[in-house]
Amino acid sequence: MAISFILMLVTLFIFSLLINQPLFYTALNVHTANSLVGLLLLFLVTGIITLPLAPIFSFMSRKNEYEADNFAKQNANKEDLISGLVNMYRDNASTLTPDSLYVNFYYSHPPATLRIANLEKN
């Protein structure tokens, strides 16, 4: 959360620098320069700029999920946890074997098979 907060502050700071720069608008082929248009452009550009950061944030989130699973395994019955995971993935109609490249780039939670394998070890 702290990293997200810092990134949001940096993004807003950069936006405050760009909002009044005509080059920001002309570079995106926009002829109207005002705060509302600037905000819309920021939303469009932010997705492109943050795309390279997606794997990093996904990795950190998956790491936290493994830590949470390990904590739960120590404090609860791991068979119940595994059963709950299987039911959750079934109810959500999630694939149990997603592409590993896609997982590494976009998934904030590890796939069920990896979470179950983690729960079953030790």
Q: How many domains does the chain have?
A: 2
Q: Are residues 71 and 31 in the same domain?
A: no
Q: Band the pLDDT of 68: cuts 50, 70, 90.
A: very high
Domain that holds residue 6: 2-52
Q: Are residues 78 and 112 in the same domain?
A: yes
Q: Are residues 110 and 87 in the same domain?
A: yes
Q: Are residues 63 and 44 in the same domain?
A: no
Q: Are residues 110 and 85 in the same domain?
A: yes
Q: Are residues 65 and 87 in the same domain?
A: yes
Q: Are residues 62 and 114 in the same domain?
A: yes
Work out the mean pLDDT of the chain and round it to a whole number. Answer: 87
Q: Is the torsion defined by CA of 64, 67, 72, 75 positive or negative?
A: negative
Average pLDDT over residues 2-18: 85
